[in-house]
Amino acid sequence: MNYLSWAVVALGAYSLVAPLMKVATTGQAKIPSDVAALVANGVLVVGTVGVIVVSGQSVTDSVISPKLPYVLAAGACLAVGILSYYRALALGPVSIVAPIFGMFLAVSSVVGIVALGEPLTVRKVAGIGFAVLAIALVSID
């Protein structure tokens, strides 16, 4: 599969995370959002270990890589982001929380352009602008 196929799979799977977490962290017998994050990410860890084992990837080579600090920083950002997202879902409506969280897509695009030197085109500027407008329209009551 190419990167577009993987992106569509990610879209499909991640589209269900917010509604499922909302149900899990609210109402009777609700699970605290931090516990839900632990369990959900435990599933992620188990799945990732399975993929690494099946594909024969070397973990030891990666642990000594000079790129490891970037992975650790990304992990710290992911922890803050996911814990905050799940807490927001436990407290607010999916229809507002998910779009605001999804704004990371536009922000990541800007970071890619500014910090990583990716090309800036009129189409990308328009897309980022429309994404911001869409989030505002969906999330402001």
Neighbours of 137 (CB within 10 A): 9
Question: What's the mean per-residue pLDDT of the chain?
Answer: 94
Q: pLDDT tens, 1-12?
A: 899 999 999 999
Q: How far apart are CA 15 and CA 17, in angstroms?
A: 6
Read off the pLDDT of residues 119-136 as tens digits, 9 standing for 90 and up. 999 999 999 999 999 999
Q: At 93, is the secondary structure helix, strand, or coil?
A: coil
Identity of residue 68: L
User: Can you list the alpha helix ranges (DSSP code H) found in 28-116?
Assistant: 33-55, 59-63, 68-91, 94-102, 104-116
Under the banding of pLDDT at 50, 70 and 90, the label for residue 74 is: very high
Closest to 59 in 3D by CA, of 45, 73, 78, 38: 45
Q: In the structure encoding, which two tokens stand for residue 125, read together? A: 């500027």
The pair of three-digit structure tokens given for residue 26, joined into one six-digit string: 């609210």
- Rounded to two decimals, the pTM is 0.85
pLDDT digits (tens, 9 = 90+) for 10-39: 999 999 999 999 999 999 999 999 999 999
Tokens describing residue 1: 């599969």
pLDDT for 87 equals 96
